[in-house]
Structure 1
Amino acid sequence: MLNKHVVFTWELGGGLGHITSFSLLAKALLDKGYQVSVISKNVSLVADVLGHLPIKVYQSPLILQSTDNLKVTYSYAEIIFDWGYKSTATLCPLVDTWKNLFELLKPDLVIADHSPTALVACKILKLKNIIMGTGFSTPPQVAPLPSLESMKVPDQKAFLQHENQVLSSINGVLTKYNTLSFEHLHQLFNVDDNFLCTFAELDHYSTRNGADYCGPCFDIDVGSSFVWGKSKSTKVFAYIKQNTPGFELLLAALIQSNNNLVLYIPQANAKVIEICKKSKNAVLLNKPANMRQVLNEADMIVSHAGHGVVSAALLHGKRLLLVPSQLEQSILVYLLAKRRLVTAVNPRNEKINYAAAIQFTCTNAELGKNIEMFKQKYAGFNSSDQLENMVKSCENIIS
């Protein structure tokens, strides 16, 4: 029995995908005899996915965004600028808290998902660490960090100033702990390994050179089984949040489409529940759906463009109508729509014809052809081999 301790971290971002992306690796390491812990932004989501496993869960350090946030963020530096990196004074308490957690847990290896401050603490404590993610939170190692795909920087001077300010904040903390300062911000991402869990078509940085993509990482065996309605029409599964702009219009269009509809709407309110009850073609779930069943049975999926759901759907040849709700999803949608692999809508556009978008997604021949070509291109992708390689890398780093 091994006694080595692996700690997974999740600091920024939202959604179930941050947990399901590393859940299979966590299970595999447990099977190998490793001790596994998770420091998570959302401990409830960890409990939903990993609660049945012998994993200890801890709350990650949090900071409330200030009122003077950047109106638009064009790079990873500007994203973290708003989350404690404006100054050493605001960053230091966060780093101190991560450092305290690591000193308590004594990890032999840290696996970080969108956790920049955890990476700073790892530098100070000289902990072995791996970055795991879709690429959005792992910019290419160049100076300055590039802008995200599709983001055109209007003010290059301010863009560089923000990165320099972030770098200065980090270096102030490193100096406090007698740790070698960074010359460039990309040095934060100098780690023992980088699990770049995506494909080139889904990478948020087209400027990345020599990337070693290990393919998307997702767990489709989470969630509960469900029963479709009796309709013989097209089976459509939708996972949408009711705080999304245009939600009511989208919901109405889905129900009026007369497709065989299964909906998962987290914390659906009484009005939504009543609307679904009155519908003859909609089944409303009160918990996440089993994604293996969705991928096996649905003809079309509507979602907010979480990387795991999108990747799994395309690998299974499923049509997608995507309604992005934040920056990472919006860029992913841009990349895929540009390749005619998905149907995309901007939920903030009040003039969207959702009914037409649903019909187009269900029936467009070009879309179906492109999805099939993508599926065939990556037909050799094997998630079991991917997981085995990740475990081997962890073992090599720890040993």
Structure 2
Amino acid sequence: MATIALIWELGSDYGHIGRFLPIALELKARGHRPVMILRDISRADEMLGRHGIEYLQAPLWLPPVQGLPAPINFTESLFLFGFLQPAGLLSVLRAWRAVLALLKPDLLIFDHAPTALLASRGLGLPRLVTGNSFAVPPRRTPLPLYEWWNPKAGAPQRELDCEERLLRNANHALSALGAPPMTCVADLYDAEVTHITGAPELDVYGPRDAACYVGAINALDQGVEPRWPAGPARRVFAYLKPRYMHFDAVVTALARLDASVLVFAPGLARQNMLRLQAANLAFSTEPLRMRSVREQVEMAVCHAGGMVDVMLQAGRPVFLLPMQMEQTMTSRRVDELGCGLFHIAQQGPRELEKGLKRVFSTPAYAEHALAYQQRNANFTQAFAMERMIGGCEALLANAAR
């Protein structure tokens, strides 16, 4: 039996746990001991407890970093998570190494975990890097820009200066640990195996080596069966964050559609549910079984996270409400493919309702989503799991030899 650490460090919500869960269950079924090391354990017992999956709290950089401009690439984003301060970075690396020393894993799997990756350099443990395309930046120097659509986004000297500064800080910490240095920031993602859980067409940085892609992995069969409100035959699902600045406006716009609408908004106060529900719109207080949901809907509304993969795999168009850069990058790709539209919050609620109605009423979006599904039919979850588990078993076998 091998102990396998599944590590998530950056990002919010529970898509990372949802991606890890099928992998952990399959590893456990094969006699291994999967242990998740998680950024957020607030819902870990709810999601993992009944499966008997162990979990630990990840060491994290907590102090807010003030005074920096908005990041233009992933290098600058890392400055927000300890890479700006060598002494503080070293503290987090030592904490990661202490956790790994206690756990004694035989294999490390990283999903959006750059500090843990840095800490594991030189330990001699086999490593598998996974995650969506944003979480696995291309191996370029400097790392690619976020806003590829913006001709004014580039700042060559700034990009080089940030590359050099991060490299200097990281190597200072690595030297203190007696670990091998990096020659560029992209070396952070050195690993024996890299699996991007997505398809090339949705890569936020643009397509790269086709062998990297395995297709999306999601916990499709967790949660309860959807219960749709009575009303029109057409169905729309929405996964919304109550903190979204136009939350009331989008729910009101959904209620105006000639559709039966089901909304999952985790953390929404009951009084707000009662205030916003309508004859054709209901809220679910529990996570839903997404395999059923995507088979029953004609479109979905979300913030452009993992739900995009879930819906496009089923040929369902999407209306997207990005709240941060990664979601904006994904939204741009979906728009280019013609599989949906997105709404930037600064546009205001009136434009939001127009875009929602356009996706709902224009057959071309559904047609493009079905075409996407057909083009990417090989990227099934079964294929992704086969590649993922096969990679794990191969690394363990190599380590044993």
TM-score by length of 1: 0.94
- Report the equivalent of 1:298: 297
- Report the equivalent of 2:327: 329
Distance in 2, Cα, partners of 1:45 & 1:127: 29
The superposition leaves residues 360-389 of structure 1 with CA deviations (integer Å, 9 ceiling, x where unpaired) of: 111212212211211111223332232122
- Report the equivalent of 2:224: 224
- Report the equivalent of 1:287: 286
Q: Is the 8 A contact 1:87 1:166 kept in 2?
A: no
The superposition leaves residues 102-159 of structure 1 with CA deviations (integer Å, 9 ceiling, x where unpaired) of: 0000010010000011111111422211111112121111222221343653432222
Deviation at residue 69 of structure 1 after TM alignment:
4.7
Distance in 2, Cα, partners of 1:273 & 1:198: 34
Q: Secondary structure at the match of 2:121?
A: helix
2:91 to 90, 93, 102: 93
Does 2:188 correspond to 1:188? yes
CA RMSD of aligned residues (A): 1.7
Equivalence map 1:86-165=2 (5 Å): 86-148=84-146, 149-150=148-149, 152-165=152-165
Deviation at residue 9 of structure 1 after TM alignment:
0.5
Q: Secondary structure at the match of 1:125?
A: coil
Distance in 2, Cα, partners of 1:379 & 1:289: 24
Instruction: Give the residue type in structure 2 aligned to 1:121.
Output: A
Q: Is the 8 A contact 1:235 1:259 kept in 2?
A: yes
Distance in 1, Cα, partners of 2:379 & 2:311: 14
Deviation at residue 168 of structure 1 after TM alignment:
1.1
Q: Bigger CA drift: 157-166 or 186-195?
A: 157-166
Does 2:13 correspond to 1:22? no
Distance in 2, Cα, partners of 1:207 & 1:374: 15
Distance in 1, Cα, partners of 2:209 & 2:31: 36
- Report the equivalent of 1:252: 252
Q: Is the 8 A contact 2:8 2:37 kept in 1?
A: yes
- Report the equivalent of 1:44: 42
- Report the equivalent of 1:316: 314
- Report the equivalent of 1:262: 262
Instruction: Give the residue type in structure 1 aligned to 2:206.
Output: S
- Report the equivalent of 1:206: 206
Deviation at residue 211 of structure 1 after TM alignment:
5.1
TM-score by length of 2: 0.94
Does 2:343 correspond to 1:345? yes
Distance in 2, Cα, partners of 1:65 & 1:341: 39
Distance in 2, Cα, partners of 1:143 & 1:319: 35
Q: Is the 8 A contact 2:142 2:159 kept in 1?
A: no
Q: Is the 8 A contact 1:320 1:361 kept in 2?
A: yes
Q: Secondary structure at the match of 2:129?
A: strand
Q: Bigger CA drift: 208-217 or 233-242?
A: 208-217
Identity %: 26
Q: Secondary structure at the match of 1:126?
A: coil
Deviation at residue 64 of structure 1 after TM alignment:
2.4
Q: Is the 8 A contact 1:5 1:107 kept in 2?
A: yes
The superposition leaves residues 306-360 of structure 1 with CA deviations (integer Å, 9 ceiling, x where unpaired) of: 13x1112111111211111111111000111122111211123225433322221
The superposition leaves residues 207-263 of structure 1 with CA deviations (integer Å, 9 ceiling, x where unpaired) of: 635553111121211121231111124211111011112111111111222421111
Q: Is the 8 A contact 2:163 2:184 kept in 1?
A: no
Instruction: Give the residue type in structure 1 aligned to 2:290.
Output: M
Q: Which runs of 5+ in 2 are unaligned?
A: none
The superposition leaves residues 276-320 of structure 1 with CA deviations (integer Å, 9 ceiling, x where unpaired) of: 34x11111111111111211111111111113x111211111121
Q: Which runs of 5+ in 1 are unaligned?
A: none
Q: CA 1:121–1:207 in 2, change beyond 3 Å: closer, same or farther?
A: same
Deviation at residue 62 of structure 1 after TM alignment:
1.9
Instruction: Give the residue type in structure 2 aligned to 1:302.
Output: V
Instruction: Give the residue type in structure 1 aligned to 2:299.
Output: M
